[in-house]
């Protein structure tokens, strides 16, 4: 559904990418998006979260 990351490059394609300034904002953004989208936030690597729709 969406990607949240602190890296400026590395993601391409049709998924919306949300840029975060630091780790704290990464958590906060992912948290908000998880609640808004009723999605599950998974950690892809140290700098990126992936929001996935489940059920």
- Please identify which residue in 2, 3, 20, 50 interacts with another protein, judged by CB under 8 A: 50
DSSP state of 48: E
Give the ranges where 1-55 is alpha helix by DSSP (H): 23-37
Among 6, 18, 27, 47, binds another protein (CB under 8 A): 27
Instruction: Determine the size of the site formed for another protein (CB under 8 A).
Output: 15
Relative to beta strand 48-52, strand 2-5 is: antiparallel
Q: Per rule CB under 8 A, is residue 41 in the interface with another protein?
A: yes
34 binds another protein per the rule CB under 8 A: yes
């Amino acid at each position: 559904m969406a990607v949240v990351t602190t890296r400026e490059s590395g993601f391409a394609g049709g998924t919306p990418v949300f840029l975060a300034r630091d780790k704290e904002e990464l958590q906060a953004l992912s948290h908000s998006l998880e609640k808004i989208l009723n999605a599950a936030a998974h950690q892809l690597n140290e700098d990126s979260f992936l929001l996935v729709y489940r059920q």
